[in-house]
Amino acid sequence: MTPRIGLIGCGRWGRLILRDLLKLGCEVEVTCRSEATAAFARGSGARAAGTALPEPAAVDAYVVATPAATHAAVLGTIVAAGKPIFVEKPMTTDSGSAQRLAALAPERLFVMDKWRHHPGVEAMRQEVAAGKLGRVLAIRASRWQWSSPHRDVTPLWVLTPHDLAITLHVLGRLPPLAQAFAVVPGRPELGFVAVLQDAETQVIVEAGIVETGHRRRCLVVGQLGTLELTDAYDAGLQVRRGAPGEPAAEALVLPISTEMPLEAELRAFLAHLRGEGPPPCSSAADGALVVARLAEIEAALGLPPSVA
């Protein structure tokens, strides 16, 4: 069976999704905002492209790659079609709409949390699940860059969904928010630190748009070992076998695949559509939980709420 996908949105990221869907053998019908974008989509191999949504009978599933602030409205329009939906992160930009949508389509709405399909993050999850770290004491995730191309939402909603999804993947839970503060006083939209904490684990998530370079890092510290992914394109996971800071702890590198996470998550979604594999990593419930934490961080920082 050739999967028939309705791709809603074909902007900067949607074009990459279109590329990978075509690479994976899909027929793609694109919904976009302009004839110029539609012409690009058709020229790239889309079966059809235009400003109207495809008829439900013409597609097997939808992939949503519109701006984050539009997700709730787009999902609200297509959810009644009864088709599986794969929506770019975050699922929505307010907790109420995320909870409503998760209740409407708990088994067929999934979130494109690509970092949960990153080989390095999956290797971390496997190490933790196998007990090689003992109890996870701390996670520290850093995501910094200069500026942001997104104007519909603050960088909180662009950057931090990734690190909350990583935490959820590695720990199997998201601790409650303990505190959050701006890195530049009075300017939380430029960067912040958020602390999530429960009785077992502290998670520090920091992100912002005032670093001159481009940094993606995740550190997991356990009683018996430490793991670190130093960059999105690492070919290996840095490991220390031993208690935190122990001088004699063995250092090694676990090789990991360099497959791009976007292609991996789309492949997982398509396999699920064909009945050949489990669903993508982030369920609607997971997506709603991430949105709830983002909204809590937003409120703690004093940022104006993002309204779907």
**Helix then strand then coil, % of the chain, to nearest 5:** 35, 30, 35
Residue 96 in any domain: the answer is yes
* Number of domains forming the structure of the chain: 2
Mark 219-234 as b/e (b = at least 16 C-beta within 10 Å).
bbbbebbbbbbeebeb
Q: How far apart are CA 141 and CA 67, in angstroms?
A: 24
Q: Are residues 157 and 273 located together in one domain of the fold? A: no
CA atoms within 13 A of residue 163's CA, in its CB half-sphere: 31
CATH of the domain at 87: 3.40.50.720
Q: Are residues 162 and 255 located together in one domain of the fold? A: yes
Q: Are residues 110 and 120 located together in one domain of the fold? A: no
Q: Which of 182, 133, 210, 200 minimizes the C-alpha distance to 298?
A: 182
Prediction pTM value = 0.97
Across 66-72, average pLDDT: 97
The model's pLDDT over 114-152, given as tens digits with 9 standing for 90+, comes to: 999 999 999 999 999 999 999 999 999 999 999 999 989
Residue 17 in any domain: the answer is yes
Q: Are residues 252 and 270 located together in one domain of the fold? A: no
Across 142-167, average pLDDT: 96
Q: Are residues 212 and 277 located together in one domain of the fold? A: no
In the predicted structure, residue 308 carries a pLDDT above the cut 60: no
Q: Are residues 82 and 182 located together in one domain of the fold? A: no
The reported pLDDT for the residue numbered 307 is 58
Residue 47 in any domain: the answer is yes
Q: How far apart are CA 225 and CA 241, in angstroms?
A: 5
Q: How far apart are CA 65 and CA 306, in angstroms?
A: 18
Q: Are residues 226 and 127 located together in one domain of the fold? A: yes
The model's pLDDT over 178-190, given as tens digits with 9 standing for 90+, comes to: 999 999 999 999 9
The reported pLDDT for the residue numbered 1 is 80
> How many distinct helices (H) and strands (E) make up the chain?
8, 15
Question: Which residue has tokens 């990153």?
Answer: 118
Report the percentage of the chain scoring pLDDT > 90: 97
The model's pLDDT over 11-58, given as tens digits with 9 standing for 90+, comes to: 999 999 999 999 999 999 999 999 999 999 999 999 999 999 999 999
Q: Are 15 and 36 in contact (CB under 8 A)?
A: no
The reported pLDDT for the residue numbered 303 is 95
Report the percentage of the chain scoring pLDDT > 70: 99
Q: Are residues 217 and 129 located together in one domain of the fold? A: yes
On average, the pLDDT of the chain sits at 97
Q: Are residues 94 and 185 located together in one domain of the fold? A: no
Residue 308 in any domain: the answer is no
Q: Are residues 137 and 238 located together in one domain of the fold? A: yes
Q: What kind and span of H or E run contains 2?
A: none
Q: Are residues 141 and 231 located together in one domain of the fold? A: yes
Q: Give the three-class secondary structure for 180.
A: strand
Helices (H), 11-104: 14-23, 35-44, 71-78, 95-104
Residue 306 in any domain: the answer is no
The reported pLDDT for the residue numbered 151 is 86
In the predicted structure, residue 306 carries a pLDDT above the cut 80: no
Parent domain of 212: 116-259+293-301
Residue 163 in any domain: the answer is yes
Residue 245 in any domain: the answer is yes
Across 242-257, average pLDDT: 98
CATH of the domain at 207: 3.30.360.10
Residue 26 in any domain: the answer is yes
Q: Are residues 109 and 164 located together in one domain of the fold? A: no
